[in-house]
Amino acid sequence: QSWMNFAASWTTCSRKTSFAPALHRSQLRSCSPPKKYGGLRMCIDYHALNRVTIKSRYLIPHADELIDQLRGAKFFSKIDLRGGYHQIRVNEAECYKTAFRTRYGSYEYTVMPFGLTNAPLMFQLTMNEVFRPLLDKCVIVYLDDIRIFSTAREQHLKDLEAVFSLLQQHRLITKGSK
């Protein structure tokens, strides 16, 4: 039964253009372990690709450094992005590198998949670029976690408006549950 549900979600996911049929047969394998709260998770073994990837030198900020910036703030909000990496498009000419095979055929991602060695770094760079106007003034970003901080309530509401404006401008979707 879980494979039937997975096949249905697979079809839905491919319609949302997270991935597309690959033009060539991939040698990277996929597996589908169960998720904590039901369903199956798509996992691709990118070890071979990661071994030959030039590692980015950009460093993800340390949580301690980010937390220090919150001193003096009295109002806080937290926003998480839905699907994090999957909101970042892969350059069309590079999609073939993400190709993988499943029991349904070979596919390639059109969005940034989890498991690539430089994915966290590229995601952090993208988020920093999106929030550059507010970064370290009223926003800190750690991967897909966005923290808004302010010293006054009225200012916090303005800061939230600015954050939501940037999210909308860059077409980033947040988790409604948090």
Whether 174 is covered by a domain: the verdict is no
Alpha-carbon distance 166 to 9, whole Å?
Answer: 30
pLDDT for 1: 43
Domain tally, the chain: 1
For residues 135-149, give the mean pLDDT. 94
User: What's the chain's average pLDDT?
Assistant: 85
CATH classification at residue 54 = 3.10.10.10
**Exposed/middle/buried for residue 70 (C-beta within 10 Å: 0-12, 13-18, 19+):** exposed
Whether 145 is covered by a domain: the verdict is yes
> Amino acid identity, residue 159?
D
- Structure confidence by residue, pLDDT tens digits, 19-76: 788 877 777 888 777 778 777 777 888 998 899 999 988 778 888 888 888 889 999 9
CA distances from 32 to 38, 46, 89 (A): 12, 14, 23
Using DSSP's 3-state secondary structure scheme, residue 76 falls into strand
